[in-house]
C-alpha cells in the first residue's frame, strides 16, 4: 500500500481557516494565524454535515474546491475526511453521543443515509484525481475491546461491527484514490497487554466481514482528539528499574508498558500483522493536541529521583495528573506539524496528521443550561483510576462549550504551549535545509559532544533537535550539543534536525556514531561484591543483600543478574527482584560499577527458591479495573498457574474494603457474604497448565471509595 501523505498537497478546510483567522486577527497573533496554514480533517459527524449548512461547507463543496486546487497543482491534492456517525456512537462517553440509535433501524439509516451518501460523493468521477483519506469511526472498536461490561457498549458493539464493515467495503470500492484508516484509540486505552491482545481478533473480525477484506484497510490511526504524546523522550524504557520497581508500575502508567503513541503504534503494527493484516499497513498519529510544550516541559533527563512515581513525574512530558483525562485538557499544546514519514521512510509511522482541529471543544458538562454533557468535561469533577486513586478531570476551568464548537481560550493555550513552538512564518511550509557535517567533537565516559554545519531557511532557523537513536536527546539553539548521563564504553548513534520560525522541521541528518570512553585513564574495576545473601523470599519476590565494594574512583552502583539476565540495578547494597513465579529456584550474582564505567567480576552466586510449595498446585490472581463510572465498575482477574503441576480447580478469595457488591460474574461462579467474596472456576476453565493462565470478570456497584482488594488464590 502506498503512503498517500507522501508527495501530496494539502487541502485546507476553509471553514476552519476562517475560524483561525478571526481568532488570530482578534489576538493580533501571527503564531495563531500560522495554524491555519496546516491541514485539518473535515468531520462528517452527522448526516446533515454531508450536505452542509449556512456556516459549514458540505462534503461535495469541499471536494469541488479540492478539485479546483488540483487543477493548478503539480502534485496530487489530499483531502482528509472523518467518518463518524455510527449507531450508538461513543457508547462509553456522553460528550459526543451521536444521532443514530443502536438498533436495526439505526443501522439501516447509517448505511443508506450516511455511508451511501458519502460514497456517492467521494466516488464521483470529478474527484478521481484527488487523494481522499477517510479516518473511520473514532472511539468505536476500542469500546468493543474494553467496555463490554457497559450496557450501552454491549448493545452498540454489533452495530459498530456491521456498520464499519459496511463502510470499509463501500469506501474501498470507490477506487485506489480512496484510503481508509481505522481508529485504534490510544496507548492509554489499548496499551495494556490484555487490551492489545484482544484488539487483533476484534479488528480482524470486522475487516474480514467487509467486502474486500484486508484490502479495505490501508492502516490505523491513534490518538484521535487525544493528548498522549508521540514520544516520551526521557522515558524510553518502560521496564527501567528505579527503586526496585519498573517505570511501568508508576501510578500514572499502572503497568501499561506503552508510554507514548510511537511505541504503542509500533506494537500495534506487530499485533495486527501477526493477526493476519498485510505488512504494508501504515500507522498514523493525530498530533493536533499532543505537543506538551511550555515552561513545564522537561528538557533533560532528571535521574535523581529514587522511586518510580517521582522519577516518572520529573521526566514525563505528559503533564496530565491522570492518564484517563481527555476532555479539554488544561495546559495541552499543539504537537508536531502534519507531515509524511515523521520518523523516516523505514518506520511504520507513515504520517503525523491533525484530525481534531485545534480549538474545537471536546464537549460540555451537565448544568442547568447544558442538559446534554459529560461529567468528564466538568473542571470541578473528579474520576477514579480503579485502584483507589481519585484525580481531577483536568478540564480547562471557567468554560462549558459543547463538542465541536469554537473554544477560543483552548486555541490560544494550544498555540502558546505548542511543541515544537509555532512561529509567525506567514504561511511558510518550506523546511530548513538538512544539517550537514555532523561530527563527534569529543567523548567522555558519560557524555558525547557533537558539532555540525548550520542549516539555512527562508524564514530563519530557530534551533536543532538532536536524536539519540529514535529518542530526542535534547535541543540546541547553536550548532553544538553535549549529550550527558551516558553509559561508559557504549556506542550511540545520533542524527540532527533543524527547525525554523514557522515550525517546520528538516529531514534528519546523516547519522554519526560515537563510543563513550571507559573513564579518564582509569581501568581498575571495583572489588568483587562479597557476602551476597538471600534476605527473604515470597511467592513472587526475592530480596538480596551484600557487602559494599571498594574502588579507587568510587563505586556508583550495582547490577544484579538473575542467571545471565539483568534483573535490575541498585545504588545501595540491597535489591528486591519482583514478578517471579512461585515455587521456583533462581540464581543471582552481583557486579559493582565505578565512576569510570568499569565493572567488577561477578560475585559468588547464591540461589533462592520462592515460596508457594515444592512442586504442588499453586496459583496467583491479578486484579485489574476495566472501567469505573463512579457508582459502578468492571474488573478482570487473571489466574496464573505458578506451580509445576497442572491445576484441576482454582478458587480466588478477597475481602472488600467498602460496600462493593458484585452484580454479575462471567467465567467463574461467585459467592458473596458481606464483604467476603469467593470466585470459583467453571467446569471449562478449571484446568490450567504450569505457567498458563485463565481469566474471569465481573461487574459491580459501590458508593464512596473503590479500593483495589488483595486477592488470595488457592488451587488443587
- Tens digit of pLDDT for each residue in 461-504? 767 888 888 777 777 778 888 887 788 888 999 999 987 766 67
Mean pLDDT of 690-715: 87
Q: SS3 sequence, 609-641? A: ECCCCCCCCCEEEEEEEEEECCCEEEEEEEEEE
Report the largest interatomic distance among the alpha carbons of the chain, rounded to a whole angstrom.
Answer: 81
What was the pLDDT predicted at 95?
A: 62
As a whole number of angstroms, the distance between CA 294 and CA 331 comes to: 8
Q: What share of the chain has pLDDT > 70, as a percent?
A: 97
Q: State yes or no: pLDDT of 339 exceeds 80.
A: yes
As a whole number of angstroms, the distance between CA 232 and CA 213 comes to: 35
- Tens digit of pLDDT for each residue in 561-582? 888 777 878 888 988 887 777 7
- 472 within 8 A of 479, measured Cβ to Cβ: no
- Tens digit of pLDDT for each residue in 349-373? 999 999 999 999 999 998 877 777 8
As a whole number of angstroms, the distance between CA 610 and CA 621 comes to: 16
Question: Which superfamily is assigned to 431-515 in CATH?
Answer: Immunoglobulins (2.60.40.10)
- Tens digit of pLDDT for each residue in 182-193? 999 999 999 999
What was the pLDDT predicted at 425?
A: 44
| Helices 261-275, 193-208: crossing angle, 10 deg rounding | 50
Mean pLDDT of 42-57: 94
What was the pLDDT predicted at 369?
A: 78
What was the pLDDT predicted at 426?
A: 43
DSSP codes of every residue in 280-318: T-EEEEE-TT----STTS--S------SHHHHHHHH-S-
Q: List strand residue ranges (DSSP E) for 41-130, in order.
A: 42-44, 77-83
Q: State yes or no: pLDDT of 271 exceeds 80.
A: yes
Active site residue 64: no
Q: State yes or no: pLDDT of 102 exceeds 50.
A: yes
As a whole number of angstroms, the distance between CA 679 and CA 709 comes to: 14
Average pLDDT, the chain: 89
Q: Do domains 9-230+277-292+327-360+367-426 and 431-515 have the same CATH topology?
A: no
Residues in CB range of 485: below 8 A, 6 or more apart: 301, 303, 446, 447
What was the pLDDT predicted at 519?
A: 60
Give the least confident one: 42-51, 353-362, 386-395.
386-395
Element spanning 265, H or E: helix 261-275
Centroid of chain to Cα 247? 15
Catalytic residue among 139, 223, 318, 465: 139
Q: State yes or no: pLDDT of 399 exceeds 60.
A: yes
Confidence of residue 614 (pLDDT cuts 50, 70, 90): very low
Tell me if the pTM is above 0.85.
no
Mean pLDDT of 512-517: 88
Q: State yes or no: pLDDT of 529 exceeds 90.
A: yes
Mean pLDDT of 513-532: 83
- 555 within 8 A of 597, measured Cβ to Cβ: no
Catalytic residue among 362, 374, 385, 577: 362
What was the pLDDT predicted at 503?
A: 67
The CATH code for residues 619-715 is 2.60.40.290
| Domain ranges across the chain | 9-230+277-292+327-360+367-426, 431-515, 533-609, 619-715
Mean pLDDT of 421-439: 77
Length of the chain: 716
Identify the DSSP state of 424: -
Q: Strand, coil or helix: what is 663?
A: strand
DSSP codes of every residue in 30-41: HHHHHHTTS--P
As a whole number of angstroms, the distance between CA 494 and CA 440 comes to: 9
Residues in CB range of 226: below 8 A, 6 or more apart: 186, 188, 286, 289, 290, 326
CATH topology of domain 533-609: Immunoglobulin-like (2.60.40)
What was the pLDDT predicted at 657?
A: 87
Confidence of residue 196 (pLDDT cuts 50, 70, 90): very high
Domain 9-230+277-292+327-360+367-426 class, CATH top level: alpha beta
Active site residue 325: no
**C-alpha to C-alpha distances, 156 to 147, 148, 202, 556, nearest whole angstrom:** 11, 9, 14, 57
Amino acid at each position: 500500500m502506498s503512503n498517500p501523505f507522501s508527495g501530496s498537497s494539502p487541502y485546507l478546510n476553509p471553514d476552519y481557516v476562517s475560524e483561525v483567522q478571526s481568532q488570530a486577527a482578534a489576538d493580533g497573533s501571527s503564531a495563531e494565524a500560522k495554524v491555519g496554514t496546516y491541514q485539518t480533517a473535515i468531520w462528517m459527524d452527522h448526516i446533515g454535515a454531508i450536505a452542509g449548512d449556512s456556516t459549514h461547507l458540505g462534503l461535495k463543496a469541499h471536494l469541488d474546491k479540492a478539485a479546483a486546487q488540483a487543477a493548478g497543482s503539480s502534485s496530487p491534492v489530499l483531502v482528509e475526511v472523518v467518518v463518524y456517525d455510527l449507531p450508538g456512537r461513543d457508547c462509553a462517553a456522553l460528550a459526543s453521543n451521536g444521532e443514530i440509535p443502536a438498533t436495526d433501524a439505526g443501522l439501516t439509516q447509517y448505511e443508506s443515509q450516511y455511508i451511501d451518501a458519502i460514497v456517492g460523493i467521494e466516488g464521483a468521477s470529478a474527484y478521481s484525481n484527488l487523494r481522499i483519506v477517510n479516518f473511520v469511526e473514532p472511539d468505536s472498536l476500542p469500546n468493543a475491546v474494553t467496555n463490554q461490561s457497559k450496557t450501552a457498549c454491549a448493545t452498540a458493539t454489533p452495530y459498530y461491527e456491521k456498520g464499519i464493515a459496511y463502510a470499509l467495503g463501500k469506501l474501498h470500492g470507490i477506487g485506489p484514490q480512496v484510503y481508509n484508516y481505522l481508529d485504534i484509540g490510544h496507548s492509554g486505552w489499548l496499551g495494556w497487554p490484555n487490551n492489545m491482545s484482544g484488539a487483533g481478533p476484534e479488528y480482524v473480525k470486522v475487516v474480514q466481514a467487509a467486502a474486500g477484506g484486508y484490502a479495505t484497510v490501508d492502516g490505523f490511526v491513534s490518538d484521535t482528539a487525544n493528548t498522549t504524546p508521540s514520544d516520551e523522550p526521557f522515558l524510553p524504557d518502560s521496564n527501567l528499574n528505579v527503586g526496585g520497581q519498573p517505570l511501568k508500575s508508576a501510578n500514572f502508567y499502572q503497568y501499561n508498558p506503552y508510554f507514548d503513541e510511537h511505541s504503542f503504534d509500533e506494537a500495534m503494527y506487530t499485533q495486527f500483522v501477526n493477526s493476519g493484516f498485510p505488512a504494508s499497513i501504515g500507522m498514523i498519529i493525530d498530533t493536533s493536541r499532543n505537543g506538551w510544550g511550555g515552561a513545564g516541559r522537561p528538557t533533560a533527563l532528571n535521574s535523581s529521583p529514587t522511586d518510580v512515581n517521582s522519577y516518572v513525574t520529573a521526566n514525563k512530558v505528559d503533564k496530565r495528573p491522570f492518564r484517563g483525562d481527555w476532555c479539554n485538557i488544561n495546559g495541552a499544546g499543539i504537537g508536531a506539524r502534519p507531515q509524511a514519514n515523521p520518523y523516516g521512510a523505514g518506520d511504520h509511522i507513515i504520517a503525523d496528521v491533525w484530525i481534531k482541529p485545534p480549538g474545537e471543544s471536546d464537549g460540555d458538562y451537565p448544568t442547568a443550561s447544558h442538559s446534554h454533557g459529560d461529567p468528564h468535561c466538568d473542571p470541578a469533577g473528579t474520576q477514579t483510576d480503579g485502584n483507589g486513586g481519585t484525580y481531577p478531570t483536568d478540564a480547562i476551568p471557567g468554560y462549558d462549550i459543547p463538542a465541536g464548537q469554537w473554544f477560543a481560550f483552548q486555541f490560544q493555550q494550544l498555540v502558546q504551549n505548542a511543541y515544537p513552538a509555532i512561529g509567525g512564518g506567514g504561511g511558510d511550509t518550506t523546511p530548513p535545509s538538512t544539517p550537514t557535517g555532523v561530527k563527534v567533537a569529543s567523548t567522555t565516559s558519560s557524555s558525547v559532544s557533537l558539532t555540525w554545519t548550520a542549516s539555512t531557511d527562508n524564514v530563519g532557523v530557530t534551533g536543532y533537535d538532536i536524536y539519540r537513536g529514535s529518542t530526542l536527546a535534547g535541543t540546541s539553539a547553536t550548532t553544538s550539543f553535549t549529550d550527558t548521563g551516558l553509559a561508559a564504553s557504549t556506542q550511540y548513534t545520533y542524527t540532527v534536525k533543524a527547525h525554523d520560525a514557522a515550525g517546520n522541521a528538516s529531514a534528519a541528518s546523516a547519522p554519526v556514531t560515537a563510543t563513550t570512553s571507559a573513564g579518564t585513564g582509569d581501568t581498575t574495576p571495583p572489588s568483587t561484591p562479597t557476602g551476597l545473601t538471600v534476605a527473604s523470599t515470597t511467592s513472587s519476590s526475592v530480596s538480596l543483600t551484600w557487602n559494599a565494594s571498594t574502588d579507587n574512583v568510587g563505586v556508583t552502583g550495582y547490577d544484579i543478574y538473575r542467571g545471565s539476565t539483568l534483573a535490575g540495578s541498585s545504588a545501595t547494597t540491597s535489591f528486591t527482584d519482583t514478578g517471579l513465579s512461585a515455587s521456583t529456584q533462581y540464581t543471582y550474582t552481583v557486579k559493582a560499577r565505578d565512576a569510570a564505567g568499569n565493572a567488577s567480576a561477578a560475585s559468588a552466586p547464591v540461589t533462592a527458591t520462592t515460596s508457594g510449595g515444592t512442586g504442588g498446585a499453586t496459583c496467583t490472581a491479578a486484579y485489574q479495573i476495566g472501567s469505573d463510572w463512579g457508582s459502578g465498575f468492571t474488573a478482570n482477574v487473571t489466574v496464573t498457574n505458578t506451580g509445576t503441576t497442572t491445576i484441576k480447580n482454582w478458587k480466588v478469595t478477597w475481602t472488600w474494603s467498602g460496600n462493593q457488591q458484585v452484580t454479575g460474574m462471567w467465567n467463574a461462579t461467585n459467592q458473596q457474604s458481606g464483604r467476603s467474596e469467593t470466585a470459583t472456576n467453571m467446569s471449562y476453565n478449571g484446568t490450567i497448565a504450569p505457567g498458563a493462565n485463565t481469566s474471569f470478570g465481573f461487574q459491580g456497584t459501590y458508593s464512596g471509595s473503590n479500593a483495589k482488594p488483595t486477592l488470595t488464590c488457592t488451587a488443587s
